Amino acid sequence: MKSGRNRALDFFAPLAILVGLLALWELAARWELIADALSIEPFLIPAPSDVAEALWQDRDLLADNAWVTLQEVLAGFALSVVAGVAFAVGLHLSETARRAFYPLLVASQTVPIIVVAPILVVWFGFGLTPKLVIIALICFFPITVNTLDGLRSVDEDAVKMMRTLDAGRVAILRRLELPTALPFLFSGAKIAVAVAVIGAVFGEWAGSDSGLGHLMLESSAQLQTARMFAAVAVLSVFAIVLFTVLSLAERRLAWWGKNETRGAT
């Protein structure tokens, strides 16, 4: 058990660092001596207080666009999980498929998404589809790789035991391999959900008429830097909240952790 003091420290330490950094930033932007020395202009780097003001004043605008982006992120992430797990299971069940597709899987991650994004917009239009494709392209990789590692980490003796307990291929997959892989899937999903937010922004930059990424571009062009940073702040909150939700779900749904079937004693 952690002592109360330790727990308070755990909570306040990150908060104190955040506040400290924001204070430094505020100081650098406000205090003319430093601002001049570092050539900080308000339209280049707004002070945190300006960003806070933008967050409040543009709240309706931000909320509308945030809703659009949130939908893209959630749908894209859901698609990645389904595709990633299906892909991992497919590669796990067939040695040939694994040999054939694994290099392609890795190669797919070297494709610069920024360059591909406009092409996807040409193919799929301005709507939701190109964003989903972009998010899925970025996100399925950590999910597939982690889930596949999980499926392959299954104890050989447990498989043998299951076979003497009349388990067929499907029963082994369902009762042994998938539960073993679930904690690994969560690890991959936690990485994926953070990059899903970036994927949505890339997608919107390539072509869109709404969303936080779109709002960033627009604000940047109009030198509304404070509003742009406000959009970035909202995106960060998205990533943190989604990550936290996944961590809580992991604790409830995959509490046994990785490799628990190995070394029982």
Partner 1 sequence: MRAATRAPVGEPVSQKRPGETGSGAGNELAMRAVGHRFGELEVLADVSLRVAEREVVALVGPSGCGKSTLLEIVSGLREPAAGSVAIEGEVDPEERLRRCSYMPQRDLLFPWLPAIDNASLALRNRGARRAAARAGAAPLFERFGLAGFEWSRPAELSGGMRQRVAFLRTLLADKPVLLLDEPFGSLDTITRAEMQEWLASALGDEPRTVLLVTHDVEEALYLADRVVVLSARPGRVIRELAFEAPRGPRTHTVTDPAFAELRERALVALSEGRR
For residue 14, the SS3 value is helix
Nearer to partner 1 by Cβ, of 175 and 251: the residue is 175
- Nearer residue to partner 1 within complex by CB, 72 or 250: 250
Asked if 40 and 212 count as a contact pair (C-beta separation under 8 A), the reply is: no
**Which one of residues 53, 149, 155, 218 is an interface residue with partner 1 (CB under 8 A)?**
155
256 binds partner 1 (CB under 8 A): yes
Interatomic CA distance for residues 79 and 126, integer angstroms:
19
Cα–Cα dist 41/134, whole Å:
35
List the one residue from 10, 41, 157, 209 that touches partner 1 (CB under 8 A). 157
Name which of residues 179 to 208 contact partner 1 (CB under 8 A): 179
Q: Which of 32/156 has CB closer to partner 1?
A: 156
CA distance 92 to 90: 5
| 160 lies in the site for partner 1, by CB under 8 A | yes
Distances (CA, A) of 246 to 98, 191, 194: 28, 10, 11
Residue 263: which residues within 8 A CB-CB, separation 6 or more? none
104 binds partner 1 (CB under 8 A): no
Q: How many CB atoms lie within 10 A of CB 5?
A: 8
- 161 sits near partner 1 (criterion: CB under 8 A): yes
- Which has the closest alpha carbon to 72: 128, 115, 125? 128
Instruction: Return the closest-CA partner of residue 199 out of 69, 106, 66, 108.
Output: 69
**Least distance from partner 1 to the Cβ atom of residue 142, Å:** 23
Q: Which stretch binds partner 1 (CB under 8 A): 58-66, 138-146, 153-161, 231-239?
A: 153-161
Nearer to partner 1, 158 or 239 (CB): 158
* Near partner 1 by CB under 8 A: residue from 52, 61, 116, 167: 167
Burial class (CB in 10 A: 0-12, 13-18, 19+), 138: buried
Number of residues this chain uses to bind partner 1 (CB under 8 A): 22
Task: In angstroms, give the least distance from the CB of 150 to partner 1.
Answer: 13
Residues in contact with partner 1 by CB under 8 A are: 155, 157-158, 160-168, 171, 175-176, 179, 256, 260-261, 263-265
